Structure 1
Amino acid sequence: MPCLNEAETLERCIAKAKDFLQRSGASGEIIIGDNGSTDGSVEIARRCGAQVVNVSIKGYGAALGGAIAASRGRYCVMGDSDDSYDFGDLALFVAKLREGADLVMGNRFLGEMAPGAMPWKNRYIGNPALSGLGRFLFAAPIRDFHCGLRAFSREAFFRMDLRTTGMEFASEMVVKATLLNMNIVEVPTTLSRDGRSRAPHLRPFRDGWRHLRFLLLFSPDWLFLYPGLFLMVAGALLGGWLLTSPIHIFGARLSLDTLIYCAAMIEIGFQSILFALLSRAYAIQEGLFPKPLRPSRFERIFSLERGILAGALLLGIGAWLFLTAFGIWREAQFGALDVERVTRVVISSSLSLSLGFEVILSSFLLSMLKMNVRLLPKATQAGRDGAQSIALSGEPEASCTM
């Protein structure tokens, strides 16, 4: 559980977790990821028999990540330290883990929610909207993306390779588990009013935006690729029609001015598609995205050489159109031109030339991002365990990560 000045409620949370471990007969440890508390929370945790991990990097995700990394159990249970979740009622979570689930999510909407436990804007707007968006973008089988009470195997956690340090940590866990095809299940849980007299650390609009931003950035297809394809196709279809002759729609005449905007749509759409390809390649190289088990159709087709050839072809078309426009100008003895005729050729030429250069340059950049670089061997999980082991006898089955 992440802890930042939770002296009012921390002891009750630890007591409930200890009670569950005693009643269930599970061997476990209770770990607090402290984020710089100054109200005596650390002393309370140690007095209650919990292990404290001091996490200097600020943030909800950083505190949880530090505590989980220090755990030794086969399974971990995480939850907030404000006494809003009942650590004494974890039987369903543990049962699902033992049945083979990688990630067990609590669902507050399937369980009980005490009056006033969740602000109305979170309950009826924010959480349903963000959870729905997450299901739509990633096909995640989760209806409560932001429930703070969840359990997972330690092995699954390290496979997720979570990177965010703030509130986005909760969304990243669900998204990464989904992209890795992990076994994810939901169980009902109870949400109570938190037991603190002070305002919570959560800021609904700020943290809601951070979750939304994360979901969009983790979905380059919906953010870049599909809008780009739409713009390119729409611009090409309408522009191709306008290249032959003006169009009359409900008395309005569409001609060169509309053709210029069509060229801009194609250019912007192409840029958006490039952003999708480059951002995905960068994210996979940096470990932000899980590396797909099989290469995509584009990856099977793409190579630097083919990119250069495609760009050269566009440059050749652009150059040929340029010479055509120059020939038209020469026919007019370098004087006044038929604007309707020559402008269509010039627009097509400039668009082909710009796309050709972009294809060649982006092919080099994409190839650089996909280079197989030599990396130092990753620390094994055993090594991590040794570096962050804690003085407890035996190997606990579960870690109540607090």
Structure 2
Amino acid sequence: MDCETMDCELTILMPCLNEAETLATCIRKAQGYLERSGVVGEVLIADNGSTDGSQQIATDLGARVVQIEAKGYGNALLGGIRAAHGEFVIMGDADDSYDFSSLDEFVAKLRDGADLVMGNRFKGGVEPGAMPPLHKYLGNPVLSAIGVLFFKAPTRDFHCGLRGFRRSSILGIGLHTSGMEFASEVVVKSCLAGLRIEEVPTTLKKDGRSRPPHLRSWRDGWRHLRFLLIYSPRWLFLYPGLALTVLGLVTTLGLLIGPIKLGSVGLDVGTMTYAAGLTAVGYQAVLFSVMVKLFGAREDLLPMSKHYRQLVEKFTVERGLILGLLIFVVGFLVAVWQVVLWGGDGFGTMDAAQTVRTAIPAVLGLLLGFQTIMFSMFAGVLSIPTTDGLTAAKAVNAPEPARSAQ
């Protein structure tokens, strides 16, 4: 059916880079599904620079081909999504590992109102040899579990390559990545935007290519993990930072009174020094998590949750500067008090342990105060209006998404 002359409901999209061995099989299966189901649709090949004649194979079979000049899996898919005529898009690799002749459940979920429908290979079945053991038992389960934990994603197969979505919804969430992490970006940003996500079983069989796949396990696995961490500053910075800050501060204050004995273990100024270091590192991580959220909101990369919105609305550069200055002054006064005590002793030799015990909170106060002042100034930079009128405050006051899992 010609999608250019009538309403097109479905685009079956396949990214392609030298898939001559399997492309024809995939196209025939997709066309067979459209004919059998009666769905008005098209088969679209997003070619990323094939040199094996894949483009001609697709054209001869009646598929539409769009050339995507920018290299990369994400670029190919995003270019294909933009070129699609269908209201819905179902994407899958052109290596004959996914069954394009069985898409009924995807279409049914999309018609029922889902914005994103993920396939689940572990529910539908993985053919022996179709997925390397490293991916099956480590990579996919771990990355999927992280996605569920960080973003409350309602899918247990975070990286299934067969997925369907409402084209307008996916184009509206601001996809940017050009490589393999595009698969993670679609799910993460759909979660953050509050899109309706469903899951259906699908099968995975061993692909029909004689050459190795484009995927590189460790490199691409790290890229996916890095993306998940970057888009969750709460888990990357805030929670570890709070844990370090509390642990370090409690230990430092406890040892400020004097040495502590825990059974046969004695804690003194050496432990206090390291605890103060933990406090400074943790506090910096907490501040950094807020800076990432502010910057993400300004650049329209991360949504603002209700909690962060309220926090930033109450925060001003002046309040931050005052708080930082107060912390700095406390540390400074402790340092002055120590110098006065030293002067009262004739500036002679003092007890080393007691000197360090007093110096540590002084230095910690100076350091935390300075960090707070610098953070406040950075927040002030983000609030400066730009030529497009966007400020951190404006981003914060934007409508809140239906569900923010951040």
TM-score normalised according to structure 2 size: 0.89
For residue 373 of structure 1, what is the amino acid of its counterpart?
Answer: T
Match of 2:328 among 315, 323, 332: 315
* Alignment CA distance shift 1:363-1:68 (3 Å): same
Matches within 5 A, 1:3-402: 3-292=16-305, 295-375=308-388
For residue 23 of structure 2, what is the amino acid of its counterpart?
Answer: L
By how many angstroms is 1:86 displaced?
1.2
In structure 1, distance between residues paired with 2:382 and 2:196: 31
* Alignment CA distance shift 1:39-1:159 (3 Å): same
In structure 2, distance between residues paired with 1:338 and 1:321: 17
Aligned partners of 1:176 and 1:290 also within 8 Å:
no
- Give secondary structure in 2 for the equivalent of 1:160: coil
Query: Residues 124-179 of structure 1: CA distance to partner in whole angstroms, max 9, x if unpaired?
Result: 22111111111111111100111101000011111221111111111111111111
Query: Residues 68-119 of structure 1: CA distance to partner in whole angstroms, max 9, x if unpaired?
Result: 0111221111000001111111111011001000000111111132221112
In structure 2, distance between residues paired with 1:192 and 1:313: 64
Match of 2:6 in 1: none
Aligned partners of 2:293 and 2:304 also within 8 Å:
no
Query: Residues 283-306 of structure 1: CA distance to partner in whole angstroms, max 9, x if unpaired?
Result: 232232235477434223322111
Aligned partners of 1:163 and 1:288 also within 8 Å:
no
Aligned partners of 1:324 and 1:345 also within 8 Å:
no
When structure 1 is superposed on structure 2, of 283-292 and 342-351 the one drifting more is: 283-292
- Give secondary structure in 1 for the equivalent of 2:121: strand
* Alignment CA distance shift 1:38-1:233 (3 Å): same
* Alignment CA distance shift 1:112-1:371 (3 Å): same
When structure 1 is superposed on structure 2, of 181-190 and 21-30 the one drifting more is: 21-30
For residue 236 of structure 1, what is the amino acid of its counterpart?
Answer: L
Unaligned runs of 5+ in 2: 1-13, 391-406
* Alignment CA distance shift 1:97-1:370 (3 Å): farther
In structure 2, distance between residues paired with 1:371 and 1:18: 53
In structure 1, distance between residues paired with 2:54 and 2:304: 40
Match of 2:11 in 1: none
* Alignment CA distance shift 1:347-1:132 (3 Å): same
* Alignment CA distance shift 1:44-1:191 (3 Å): same
For residue 359 of structure 1, what is the amino acid of its counterpart?
Answer: T
- Give secondary structure in 1 for the equivalent of 2:321: helix
Query: Residues 41-69 of structure 1: CA distance to partner in whole angstroms, max 9, x if unpaired?
Result: 11111222222222222211111001101
- Give secondary structure in 1 for the equivalent of 2:168: helix
In structure 2, distance between residues paired with 1:296 and 1:161: 21
In structure 1, distance between residues paired with 2:37 and 2:112: 16
Q: Which has the higher contact order (CA 8 A, sep 6+)?
A: 1
By how many angstroms is 1:236 displaced?
1.0
Query: Residues 194-238 of structure 1: CA distance to partner in whole angstroms, max 9, x if unpaired?
Result: 111111111122211211111122111111111111111111111
Segments ≥4 residues shifted beyond 6 Å: none
Aligned partners of 2:87 and 2:168 also within 8 Å:
yes
In structure 1, distance between residues paired with 2:246 and 2:237: 14
By how many angstroms is 1:280 displaced?
2.2
In structure 2, distance between residues paired with 1:21 and 1:266: 61
For residue 182 of structure 2, what is the amino acid of its counterpart?
Answer: F
TM-score normalised according to structure 1 size: 0.90
RMSD (CA atoms): 1.7
In structure 2, distance between residues paired with 1:256 and 1:9: 68
When structure 1 is superposed on structure 2, of 365-374 and 341-350 the one drifting more is: 365-374
